[in-house]
Amino acid sequence: MAAPSASMDNNNQSHPKLSKTEKKFLRKQIKARHTLLRHEGIESVSHVTESLVVANGGLGNGVSRTQLLRVLERCGSVEALLMLPNKPYSFVRYRTKEESKKAYVTLNGKEMVDDLGQNITLYLNFVEKVHWEDLRPPVLPPGLMIVEEIVSPEDEKMLLESIDWTDNSFGQNGLPDICNSLLEKCLKGGHIKYIPDQLTINQYEPGQGIPPHIDTHSAFENEIISLSLGAEIVMDFKHPDGCTVSVMLPQRSLLVMTGESRYLWTHGITPRKFDVIQASEGQKSGIITSDAGNLTLNKRGVRTSFTFRKVRRTPCDCSYPLVCDSQSCHQNEAFPSFPENDKEALELEREYVHRVYEEIAEHFSSTRHTPWPQIGAFLKALPKGSIVADIGCGNGKYLGLNKEIYMIGCDRSQNLVEICGERQFEAFVCDALAVPLRSETCDACISIAVIHHFATAERRLATLQELARLLRPGGKALIYVWAMEQEYNKQKSKYLRGSRDSEEKEEHLNSGVLASGLFGEQNPGTSSHNSVCSISATNDLKDGGCNANGVINSKLPVHTNRTSFHSQDVLVPWHLKRDPMRDKHAEPLKLTPDLGVPHDPSPVFHRYYHVFCEGELETACRMLNNISIQHSYYDQGNWCVIFKKL
Ligand SMILES: O=C(O)CCC(=O)C(=O)O
Ligand SMILES: [Fe+2]
Ligand SMILES: [Zn+2]
């Protein structure tokens, strides 16, 4: 169906001569325009140019290059078609404006069938220029190598036929003989330095994958090799700073991961039935994202991988301590094996951060009034008119601090955002991992007591990356996280010192002042936990409390408030006061009688924290390549960094 030909003007004029269907298409076309602008920063123009952005015509929509070209070439000769992995749109450049105008007029609102047999509707808009911000020089992650045709088709067949899926001892008593000649070849060819002693065989049906992960440092040596048999596949590698590289692993090739690619980057296979691959023949292995003008879809086959590793017998001493389980800052303590992956991390955050803040929002807010001096100083030093985002703004206590700047807050908790609204502050709900603000729009950002609620090193780093993304070049971010070290330079933090004296009225950054161990004293056996004990969060049930979730199962120690930390990953109790209005001006530590009565316990919530060791926040920031650290300091039990966007 053809769209109206007069729809190039974008202002909301009425179009009296349009039919109902035409009006619907026009609306959708304008919507596509706005979405591209909002989400991708792609600006379309109202006059005719040679280039068009084709909404819905993208690899991310299941549209292949050949299919789209077929449609586009009906209107003229296509000079370039840019298709990026995972994007639901593409860019086309025609030779002349007449041709692009023809495409605009005839293809807008046109339906086509994608590679998966679904109908999609194209919406086209003119663009002035086509540029790819995220186009990176095509380099593989350091230490990664692909050796093509490492085995012959005959050996491939033999290897595949040798697999006995019912025999779980396969490969356990030394590697099967059939692998030996392959491994010797790898050794002779210099692809590996030692013979592995462990084999994992994985089979992937089309649609299956493996979540992004780093093979445990302490379990395996540096070299990890993986043989691809039966079919090719695309593997995604991701640097902690968010940089993703998709790599084609051809059939019968060997993937070698060492050094940075093995220790620091995650690898994974996205579960899907089609891969985005290089359209032209020729180069088989290697990076996919390099040439947006040359991508298409490739149907997956059944791939079987042989992954060989060498079991490690001594602790890992790699140069990536941030992600190394042999080198956690507190070596006497077992590295937390939980959460193990992104999914577990998200579940943990949902239950032990998001849900808890929703529940305790009002009470939490009532304990948060006084701005911290150094944070206030940072905000007050900003030039008049600065645009500042507070990521994780809580009840908004920093939002109105400097009347000369424009502040916008966001928080994961709807209830806290509502409290901001009641105070006439601008705030919205979002996750710090994905802030719906345009890149490079902020003169400054603050993130106070937020990042310690993310449950993996990768996720914490990703939040820092997100702050860096929001900053304009030259812009600054201030970050506070709770410190493992509550005693520093022989001084106990206020949190540890927390006592009943009148100073206690002063609130604390990260803890409920009301949540002292006193509650336990009043009710022996109900809620006083030893800090390093293995009491699981499921014990909350007995507390008449909250966070009843089996997932966390004995995996995280429950911290005792106002004591030192013994573990970096902990659950910190929050004793909810039911009526915050009543308690607002009460002596925080004075237990009101009804609180102490066993049959009316105040519910105890547990918030998940990853408390940072000295240097950890700074090390994480240093992993971002577009910032420089300006100041790194300790402030009352918190590690703090100010960085500047380059
Ligand atoms: O299938 C592959 O090539 C990789 C498998 C993998 O990463 C693993 O098992 O740890
Ligand atoms: Fe792996
Ligand atoms: Zn390591």
Q: Residue 612 carries which DSSP code?
A: B
Residues whose Cβ atom is located within 5 A of ion ligand 3: 217, 316, 318, 324
- Ligand found nearest the CA of 307: 1
Cβ count near 287 (within 10 Å): 19
Question: Of 458, 398, 384, which Cα lies nearest the Cα of 427?
Answer: 398
Q: Which atom of ligand 1 is nearest to the CA of 200?
A: 9
| 13 CA to centre of ligand 3 in angstroms | 62
Please tell me the distance from the alpha carbon of residue 294 to that of residue 282, in angstroms, as a whole number.
Answer: 12
> What φ, ψ does residue 80 adopt, rounded to 5°?
-150, 140
Closest residue by Cα to residue 110 from 122, 119, 99: 122
pLDDT digits (tens, 9 = 90+) for 382-411: 999 999 999 999 999 999 999 999 999 999
- Closest residue by Cα to atom 5, ligand 1, is 307
The proportion of the chain whose per-residue pLDDT surpasses 70, expressed as a percent, equals 78
Q: Are strands 233-238 and 244-249 parallel, antiparallel or unpaired?
A: antiparallel
Atom number, ligand 1, closest to the C-alpha of residue 303: 1
Q: Is the dihedral of CA 162, 165, 169, 172 positive or negative?
A: positive
Nearest atom in ligand 1 to 215's CA: 10
3-class SS at 312?
Answer: coil
Q: Which ligand 1 atom is nearest residue 204's CA?
A: 1
Which-ligand-closest: CA of 214? 2
Ligand nearest to the CA of 219: 3
ipTM of the complex: 0.97
27-32: long-range contacts (C-beta < 8 A, 24 or more apart)?
A: 28/109, 28/121, 28/123, 29/3, 29/108, 29/109, 29/123, 29/124, 29/125, 32/56, 32/123, 32/125
249 CA: nearest ligand 1 atom? 3
Query: 165-196 burial by CB neighbour count: b if 16+ within 10 A, else e?
Result: eeeeeebeeebeeebeebbebbeeeebbeeeb
* Site to substitute for ligand 1 among 267, 275, 304, most atoms within 8 A of C-beta: 267
Euclidean distance between CA atoms 79 and 123, whole angstroms: 19
Using the structure block, give the residue that is written with the tokens 């022989």. 490
Determine the average pLDDT of the residues in 153-160. 94
For the chain, the distance separating the N- and C-terminal CA atoms, rounded to the nearest angstrom, is: 48
State how far the Cα of 470 lies from the Cα of 433, in Å rounded to an integer. 12
131 C-alpha to ligand 1 centroid (Å):
35
Which of the pair, 187 or 549, is modelled with greater confidence?
187
List the Cα angle 643/371/441 in 5-degree steps.
40
Domains contained in the chain, CATH given: 20-127 (3.30.70.330), 144-323 (2.60.120.1520), 371-483+614-645 (3.40.50.150), 491-610 (no CATH)
Nearest to 218 by CA among 323, 135, 305: 323
pLDDT, tens digit (0-9, with 9 covering 90-100), for 99-146: 999 999 999 888 888 776 778 899 999 988 775 444 445 678 999 999
Q: What is the pLDDT of residue 7?
A: 38
User: Which ligand neighbours the alpha carbon of 335 most closely?
Assistant: 3
Per-residue pLDDT at 423 exceeds 70: yes
DSSP state of 163: -
Nearest to 285 by CA among 85, 476, 434, 147: 147
Mutate to test the pocket of ligand 1, among 146, 200, 311 (most ligand atoms within 8 A of CB): 200
- Mutate which of 210, 254, 310 for ligand 1 pocket (most atoms within 8 A of beta carbon): 210
Nearest CA to ligand 1 atom 2: 305
Q: Is the pLDDT of residue 442 over 70?
A: yes
The residue nearest atom 1 of ligand 1, judged by CA position, is: 305
Contact residues for 613 (Cβ-Cβ < 8 A; gap 6+):
329, 330, 483, 484, 485, 568
Calpha distance 383→395 (Å, rounded): 24
How many Å apart are CA 387 and CA 389, to the nearest integer? 7
Query: Which ligand has an atom closest to residue 328 CA?
Result: 3
Mean pLDDT of all residues belonging to the chain? 80
| Residue 513 Cα to chain centre, angstroms | 32
Cα 215 to middle of ligand 2, angstroms = 5
pLDDT > 90 in the chain, percent: 47
Rg for the chain, CA atoms, rounded: 29
pLDDT of residue 504: 31
Confidence band, pLDDT 50/70/90 cuts, at residue 281: low
The one-letter amino acid code at 212 reads: P
Pocket of ligand 1 (CB under 6 A): 200, 202, 210, 215, 226, 267, 305, 307
